[in-house]
Amino acid sequence: MKYYVNEHILNTKRVFPNQGRYSYYRYDMNENTTGLPKDFVDTVLKEITPEFLSTYPEPDKFLKKYAKYINADFDNVVTTNGSDMAIRYILEVFGEEGKDVVTVSPTFEMYRVNCSILGLCHKPVAYENDLSFDIEKILTAIDDNTRLVILVNPNNPVGNVYSEEDLKKILKRTKEKNAILVVDEAYHYFYDKTFLEYALKEENVIVLRTFSKLFSLAALRIGVIIGHPTLIDYIKRSRLTFDTNAVALLFAERILDRPDLIQQLIQTEADGKKYALMRLESLGYECRECKGNFIFIKTNSNAQNVARALEEKKKILVHAYSNEFLKDYIRVSTGDMNSMKFFIDSFIEIDKNC
């Protein structure tokens, strides 16, 4: 039987996350290792009635509250089904088939994947061997063929950040080439520097935020696109009518109602990360302090073997890499001090005997 399949889909290679993770200790995908406080979750769940579930989602109430939270206007923001869907919309709207999308490499894999799906040319700029990046190489990569430039800040998986000077240089270059600049701030709350002001005042800058990381709603899938009203209007035209579900919107709204909870989540992760780095370094491990909620640890034994043994013997999931830049490291999500103590005790035993 012969039928048509979009050639871009045929040529797209995908690797999906492992399933069956619920029974494991999850340090592999930068989720909150313990999640939101149970009493908070229980309180919000009481608001979910049969009537609530039978009604289509209405995002505007949340968006008005979120706009106020970031000192923006309602026309500056739109919700999406997680940052994944935000990426798809932005590349669909502002990408041009056969033209370039510039990122550093490695970075969040869904940028490459969506470029492939949509027939866009992903143009990666490689890190240096010491995992630094050369801003001049990024600027050189932006040319007349460029439609979008993506900066994940802090970057996943490497964890570096861009300075304001870096951003201004890249912004100037994108304006010269009539390109859109996207700053993905998925890890913003673990690193308080933000380029939000540029998204609110420049005509070609978009900032992405997610509720999956610090706010611990990875299961519910909610993200926000922030930008100039004209850019947001174009994205809304592409957006699915009921893109973000009502349960996600409710939980996100209730989190915004609790600034004390947000600060508690920030401080808990910061304390756990500090403890982990201090303890590992006291044991002689080379660690890379990333600006997101994760760290890199250079293992004494083969990193792939260590990751495999942690999974098989301790039911602990971490991220190991085949990438030449990162093959000697494991990436470990950071959380509260108890979670980090449990991980480090297990890791030391495994790394010693692997």
**What whole-number distance in Å separates Cα of residue 174 and Cα of residue 137?**
14
Q: What is the mean pLDDT of the chain?
A: 96
Residue 256 contacts residue 69 (beta carbons within 8 Å): yes
At the top level of CATH, the class of 49-257 is alpha beta
- pLDDT of 67 > 90? The answer is yes
What are the domain boundaries of the chain? 7-30+260-353, 49-257
Residues 281, 145: Cα–Cα separation, whole Å = 45
CB 258 within 8 A of CB 299: no
Read off the pTM: 0.95
What 3-state class would DSSP assign to 234? Answer: helix
pLDDT in tens, 208-264: 999 999 999 999 999 999 999 999 999 999 999 999 999 999 999 999 999 999 999
Q: How far is CA 76 from CA 93, 116, 311, in A?
A: 16, 29, 43
Question: Do the two domains 7-30+260-353 and 49-257 of this chain adopt the same fold?
Answer: no
CATH for 7-30+260-353, options being 3.40.50.10860, 3.40.50.300, 3.30.420.40, 3.90.1150.10: 3.90.1150.10
Which DSSP category does 106 fall into?
Answer: S
